[in-house]
């Protein structure tokens, strides 16, 4: 099905998803999952549901549906919990083909070690597991890499189950501490986006930008069709930054809500300050009150008001916008695995998705942001961190 026809119903405010589209109740932005016209979103709200399992359970539920003729590809930074381990092992035992690209971090816990050994032992005819030491793909900047970067930082799934080809990204690692943090998951069923995900996954497995004689440069790391754009990293150009630069505000279209666990890039901060100065209602959530202090510092492009920048226990990476995009009022969402850090741009394996002209999806993410904002607090630290510019 062509992407534009697949997403056409999303451009209007249609009726709620049918039972077939969403078999479990969505409390939009609170906790739960909701699906409409080939797109599914899931959110956690640990402030209202302690140890909220919603986002971490969704991969397990997907694995539970897989069997002979199906393929599951997962690229995961951290994996230390039992339910998805059991579910993907069982899927492979039923006949699904399973591939895993992991960071070396997976070897540090018993569930990760069991996962690696079992899915290799159950399917000796092929290489099922690739463990990267550092990022799988080459950096796009000179070394040395920043502290705690140069990692395979993905929470990324490319699946074909029951003939449905899906591209899935989440902010949540499959690890225990994520139950207690705000997180989200986005699943898009689309053959073109799926094919792009396959190409990226093959390069992660090869640990090279060259596969079958075809080399990927930064241009090939961006896929766009209709209202959807996807970018994979390491990459010098950034989908988040280019999106912010293309935004402007007008009466009735001036909402910019950003929730990123970590924000360290001055170029992103400057664009958010510019939008605030030009009349946008900009709100920012981050997971560290020292970063909150840095975000509120006065800049030549403008200043983010103290009350608009707050701290909450989040691991999310999301932007929800109702504003002008390239001069035209629209609703858009941008989400994925990358924090706004130099590592997330230039040194780590990451993926980001942007969906425009989608009021329903925007409403889902805005409700999620509003929920987190309602449970946020003003930072208590007076420390002002020093953020180094990215070396390109």
Question: Quick check: 9 pLDDT over 60?
Answer: no
136 occurs within a structural domain: yes
| Cis peptide bond prior to 236, omega within 30° of 0 | no
Question: Quick check: 16 pLDDT over 50?
Answer: no
Q: Is 268 in the same domain as 200? A: no
- Of the candidates 304, 310, 311, 319, the one whose C-alpha atom is nearest the C-alpha of residue 259 is 319
Note the pLDDT of residue 29.
64
d(CA 215, CA 364): 37
Residue 143 pLDDT class (50, 70, 90 cuts): confident
Q: What is the domain count for the chain?
A: 2
Tokens of 58: 């969704």
Q: Is 173 in the same domain as 320? A: no
Per the prediction, the chain carries an average pLDDT of 92
Q: Is 205 in the same domain as 262? A: no
The predicted model scores a pTM of 0.92
Lowest mean pLDDT among 26-35, 263-272, 320-329: 26-35
13-31: average pLDDT: 43
Residues spanned by the domain of 69 = 35-217
H helices of the chain, where?
A: 3-7, 54-63, 82-94, 110-121, 191-206, 239-245, 266-277, 289-295, 342, 359-374
162-176: average pLDDT: 98
Question: Quick check: 115 pLDDT over 80?
Answer: yes
Note the pLDDT of residue 330.
98
Q: Is 181 in the same domain as 275? A: no
25 occurs within a structural domain: no
Q: Is 56 in the same domain as 205? A: yes
Residue 15 pLDDT class (50, 70, 90 cuts): very low
Note the pLDDT of residue 391.
86
Q: Are 293 and 381 in contact, with CB atoms under 8 Å apart? A: yes
d(CA 260, CA 181): 12
Question: Quick check: 187 pLDDT over 80?
Answer: yes
Q: State the CATH number of the domain containing residue 303.
A: 3.30.870.10
169 occurs within a structural domain: yes
SS (H, E, C) 32-81: EEEEECCEEEEECCCCCCCCCCHHHHHHHHHHCCCCCCCEEEEEECCECC
Residue 13 pLDDT class (50, 70, 90 cuts): very low
DSSP string across 347-388: ISBEEEEEEES-HHHHHHHHHHHHHHHHT-B---------PP
Note the pLDDT of residue 18.
31
Q: Is 296 in the same domain as 204? A: no
Residue 30 pLDDT class (50, 70, 90 cuts): confident
Q: Is 155 in the same domain as 271? A: no
Q: Is 325 in the same domain as 370? A: yes
Question: Quick check: 31 pLDDT over 50?
Answer: yes
- Of the candidates 72, 82, 74, the one whose C-alpha atom is nearest the C-alpha of residue 103 is 74
213 occurs within a structural domain: yes
Question: Higher pLDDT residue, 5 or 281?
Answer: 281
Residue 361 pLDDT class (50, 70, 90 cuts): very high
Separation in Å, CA 74 to CA 160, 343, 377: 12, 21, 35
Question: Quick check: 134 pLDDT over 80?
Answer: yes
177-206: average pLDDT: 98
176-191: average pLDDT: 98
Lowest mean pLDDT among 8-17, 90-99, 109-118, 353-362: 8-17
Question: Quick check: 191 pLDDT over 50?
Answer: yes
Q: Is 41 in the same domain as 147? A: yes
13 occurs within a structural domain: no
Tokens of 262: 């970590």
| Spacing of C-alpha 245 from chain mean position | 20
Residue 24 pLDDT class (50, 70, 90 cuts): very low
Q: Are 165 and 88 in contact, with CB atoms under 8 Å apart? A: no
302 occurs within a structural domain: yes
Note the pLDDT of residue 237.
96
């Amino acid at each position: 099905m062509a992407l534009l026809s697949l997403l056409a119903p999303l451009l209007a405010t249609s009726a709620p998803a049918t039972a077939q589209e969403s078999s479990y109740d969505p409390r939009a932005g609170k906790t739960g999952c909701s699906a409409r016209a080939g797109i599914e979103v899931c959110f956690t709200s640990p402030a209202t549901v302690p140890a909220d399992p919603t986002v971490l359970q969704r991969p397990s539920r997907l694995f539970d549906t897989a069997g002979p003729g199906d393929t599951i590809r997962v690229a995961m930074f951290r994996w230390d919990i039992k339910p998805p381990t059991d579910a993907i092992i069982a899927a492979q035992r039923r006949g699904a083909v399973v591939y895993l690209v992991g960071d070396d971090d997976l070897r540090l816990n018993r569930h990760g070690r069991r996962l690696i050994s079992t899915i290799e032992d159950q399917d000796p005819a092929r290489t099922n597991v690739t463990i990267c030491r550092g990022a799988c793909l080459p950096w796009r900047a000179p070394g040395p890499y920043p502290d705690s970067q140069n990692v395979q930082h993905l929470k990324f799934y490319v699946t074909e189950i029951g003939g449905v080809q899906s591209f899935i990204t989440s902010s949540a690692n499959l690890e225990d501490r994520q139950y207690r943090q705000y997180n989200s998951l986005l699943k898009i069923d689309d053959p073109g986006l799926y094919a792009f995900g396959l190409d990226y996954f093959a390069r992660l497995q090869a640990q090279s930008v060259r596969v079958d004689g075809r080399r990927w440069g930064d241009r090939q790391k961006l896929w766009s069709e209709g209202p959807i754009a996807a970018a994979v990293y390491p990459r010098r150009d950034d989908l988040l930054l280019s999106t912010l630069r293309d935004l402007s505000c007008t009466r009735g279209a001036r909402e910019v809500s950003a929730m990123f666990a970590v924000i360290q890039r001055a170029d992103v901060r400057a664009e958010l300050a510019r939008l605030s100065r030009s009349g946008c209602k900009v709100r920012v959530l981050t997971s560290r009150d020292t970063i909150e202090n840095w975000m509120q510092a006065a800049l030549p492009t403008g200043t983010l008001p103290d009350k608009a920048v707050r701290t909450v226990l989040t691991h999310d990476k999301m932007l929800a916008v109702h504003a002008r995009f390239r001069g035209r009022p629209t609703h858009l969402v941008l989400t994925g695995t990358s924090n706004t850090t130099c590592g997330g741009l230039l040194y780590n394996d990451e993926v980001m998705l942007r969906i425009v002209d989608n009021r329903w999806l925007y409403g889902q993410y805005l409700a999620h942001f509003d929920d987190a904002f309602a449970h946020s607090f003003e930072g208590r630290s007076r420390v002002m961190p020093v953020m180094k510019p990215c070396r390109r």
